[in-house]
Amino acid sequence: MAEVQIREARKSYGSVEVLRGVDVDVRDGEFVALVGPSGCGKSTLLRMIAGLEGISGGEIRIGARVVNDIPPKQRDVAMVFQNYALYPHMTVAKNMGFSLKLAGKPKEEIDRRVAAAAEILDLSALLDRLPRQLSGGQRQRVAMGRAIVRDPRVFLFDEPLSNLDAKLRVQMRAEIKALHQRLGTTTVYVTHDQVEAMTMADKIVVMRAGVVEQVGSPLDLYDHPANMFVAGFIGSPAMNFIEGRVERGQFIAGCGLSVATGTIADTARTVLGIRPEHLTLDPAGTAATVVVVEQTGSETLLLLDMAGQKLTYLGRDRLHIRPGETVHILPDAARLHLFDPQSGRRMGDGPGTAARI
C-alpha cells in the first residue's frame, strides 16, 4: 500500500493541453474518485499514474518514489480497464495469474494466490472458463481478480462499471466498495457517474477541462460546492439555478421567488442554487405551474415553471398532482447556495454554509 501524490501534473498532446496543473493527494488506503464530464482529463490522469501516458510536467509520487520516469511494471500498480481487457485466449486462472507468471513466481505460489483471489471474488468455479464464456459481471470480477492477485500498492479503476447494466452496476459498486474495505488498498477510481463517486469514495476529485474544480468528501461536495459547476455536477437530480439579486438580506428573483439569505452584502446580480430536495411545498411559497410529474414510488419529481424559471422539485411524499396545476414552492432557507454569475464561484458564507464542520 502507498499514498499517491500528484503535484502540478500537466499533460499536453502537441499544443493541446489536456491537464493544466493538477494537484491530488491520495492517502494510504484511501478510496479516491476522479469525476468529471468526458474530456475533463480524469482518464488521462489515471493513465499517467499507471504509466501508460507520459507526464508532460509536474510530478507524480507513489509512496516515497517519484515515478515520472519509472515504467509501469516497476510502479507496482494494478489497473482495471473499462472494457475489462481480459486476454481472450487465456482461461480465468491464466488471466489472473499472468502477471505472477511474468514475474517468474513458482507455479504453486501462482496457483495459491489465484485460488485465494478467486475465493474473494466468488470465481472459484469459473477458473477454467474462457472470458467469452462469462457474463459481463463475471468478466468484471475477473478483471478485478487480475488486479488483486498481485497485491499491488495502488488499484486504478478506469470507469469499470460503465459497460454493465444498471442493476449489475449497483451490485458491483457494493462489491468494489466491500473489496476495498477488506483489502484496504489505496484506490483511484475514475468515473463520469457522480452517483458512483458519491457512494463509493472517501474523497472525490471533481475535474473539468483539465483542472481540479474541487476536492472533498462526498457530503462536503454536496453541502458546500465551491462553484456552480460542482454544484450542478454533484447530486441527482441536478441543482436548480435561479438568477436574481440580493437586497437587504433577501434574495429576489425575477420569477417572484424571494428568500432570506442572512448576512450577505447586497449584489445586483447573483445566482441562487437550491437542490430539488431542498424545495418544499408550502402555501406561503411562490406559485409555480407543474409541467411534468414523475413518480418512482419512493419519490415524486416535479418539473415546474415559475414565471418562466424552470425548477425541479423532489419530495418523498406521494403527490396527487397533474400537469397544469399550480403548486406553491418554498426553498429551505438553511440550504441555499449563492454563486457569482461571472466566475461561477461560491459567494460569501450564505446560510447554506452554516453547517460547515
Partner 1 sequence: MSRRTGSVLPVHVALAAGAALVLVPIIWTVAAGFRTQISLLMGDVLFTPIGSNFAEVLWSKTSDFLLNYRNSIIVGIVSTVLCVVVATLAAFSLNRMRWPAWTVHLFLAWTMIFHMIPPVALASAWFTMARAVGLENTFTGLILAHATLNLPMAIWLMAVFVRDVPKELEEAAIMDGADTPHILWHVILPLITPGLAATSILTFIFSWNEFAVALTLTMKQTATVPVAIAKFAQDFEIQYTQMAASAALAMVPAILVLLVAQRYIVKGLTQGAVK
d(CA 149, CA 98): 10
- Report helix, strand or coil for 79: strand
Q: How far is the CB of 187 from partner 1 (least distance, A)?
A: 15
| Contact call for residue 52 and partner 1 (CB under 8 A) | yes
**Which of these ranges, 10-18, 26-34, 71-79, 176-184, lies near partner 1 under the rule CB under 8 A?**
71-79
Whole-number minimum distance, CB 317 to partner 1, in Å?
47
Question: Counting Cβ atoms within 10 Å, is residue 135 exposed (0-12), middle (13-18) or buried (19+)?
Answer: exposed
Site string for partner 1, 307-336 (x = CB under 8 A): ------------------------------
85 binds partner 1 (CB under 8 A): yes
Taking the least distance from each CB to partner 1, the nearer of 134 and 206 is 134
Residue recorded with cell 487465456? 90
Q: Which of residues 119-158 bind partner 1 (CB under 8 A)?
A: 146, 150
Order of strands, sheet of 337-339, starting from the edge strand that comes earlier in the sequence: 258-260, 250-253, 240-247, 267-274, 337-339
Q: Which of 16, 64, 102, 284 forms a contact with partner 1 (CB under 8 A)?
A: 102
Grid coordinates given for 313: 422539485
| Piece of the chain touching partner 1 by CB under 8 A; list 11-19, 77-85, 112-120, 304-312 | 77-85
Instruction: Determine, following the binding rule CB under 8 A, whether residue 34 of this chain makes contact with partner 1.
Output: no
- Is 87 near partner 1 (CB under 8 A)? yes
Sequential DSSP letters for 150-219: T--SEEEEESTTTTS-HHHHHHHHHHHHHHHHHH--EEEEEES-HHHHHHH-SEEEEEETTEEEEEE-HH
Min dist CB 17 to partner 1, Å, is 20
Bond prior to 71 in cis (omega within 30° of 0): no
- The residues that touch partner 1, with contacts defined as CB under 8 A, are 50-52, 72-73, 77-79, 81-83, 85-89, 98-99, 102-103, 146, 150
